[in-house]
Structure 1
């Protein structure tokens, strides 16, 4: 019976995964500040469409909230992909996750302006999407390699 052996380089994907915690914390603070400025009470998730149309602060809140929610929607794929890929390709995993996190910072800044078209600030949506796709591909390849290795035993 054999176990999983983690190479010392696995520290890099772990650090990249932890960077997502800081990203979420920063986004949460931004959403809270935007909520306060827009005077949107809990538990309301978004400002009503009519309210956002006449109140720029409400529109900015909606955009900050959406950037955060979108991050949460894709985060399970990012974390799983980073850790699975990191078992075989730790440098690639950490680079892809780190690229996604950095792109997500610019995505959030752009989106939080209140103009949803600015969410691709500095091509952040494109770069983040490519990093995500890279993690999907590399984690799939890693999983296939693990299965092949298991079948050889």
Structure 2
């Protein structure tokens, strides 16, 4: 049996929140590139060696930036996917959570690449993580509604 969606005008906010995630990725790339250049770690090396990072603060910061970026890309698809699905039923709430997730990921990046190192990522991780889990539950509920609708 066919199923039709009627998308709210508010879904544009969901699309804007999803788009913000793409710009956060660009920020990650720029910050990682900055630290790569400062560290002298050349391509194709993904990370500075343990020996290099323990001797050179720039190499250590590059590793932190690279790990933050990798973690971001690991979480990008599930977060944006949840946002787009949840936004079908809860456009304004999903958009707010999606924007919160993006903001939290920026805080995560700057915390991780601060002098605090890995410990600096904690607040951003919790902030983005709460938004992410809420989006996942909202997406699951939206999926349930679609499956059980007549």
TM-score range, shorter chain: over 0.9
Distance 1:145 1:2, change over 3 A: closer
Q: Deviations over 1:83-124 (max 9, x none)?
A: 00000000111011111111111110010125111112xx22
Residue 120 of structure 2 corresponds to which residue in structure 1?
A: 118
**1: CA distance, partners of 2:52 / 2:114:** 17
CA positional deviation for 1:28: 0.3
CA positional deviation for 1:17: 0.1
2:70 is paired with a residue of what secondary structure? helix
CA positional deviation for 1:125: 1.2
| Structure 2: runs of 5 or more not aligned | none
Residue 39 of structure 1 corresponds to which residue in structure 2?
A: 40
**2: CA distance, partners of 1:51 / 1:147:** 53
Give the structure-2-normalised TM-score: 0.95
Dislocated runs of 4+, deviation >6 Å: none
Residue 16 of structure 1 corresponds to which residue in structure 2?
A: 17
**1: CA distance, partners of 2:113 / 2:51:** 19
Residue 137 of structure 1 corresponds to which residue in structure 2?
A: 137
Distance 1:147 1:2, change over 3 A: closer
Q: CA RMSD in A?
A: 1.0
CA positional deviation for 1:3: 3.0
CA positional deviation for 1:4: 2.5
**2: CA distance, partners of 1:4 / 1:129:** 29
Residues matched between the structures, number: 148
CA positional deviation for 1:2: 4.8
| Structure 1: runs of 5 or more not aligned | none
2:114 is paired with a residue of what secondary structure? coil
Give the structure-1-normalised TM-score: 0.93
Residue 147 of structure 1 corresponds to which residue in structure 2?
A: 147
1:8 is paired with a residue of what secondary structure? coil
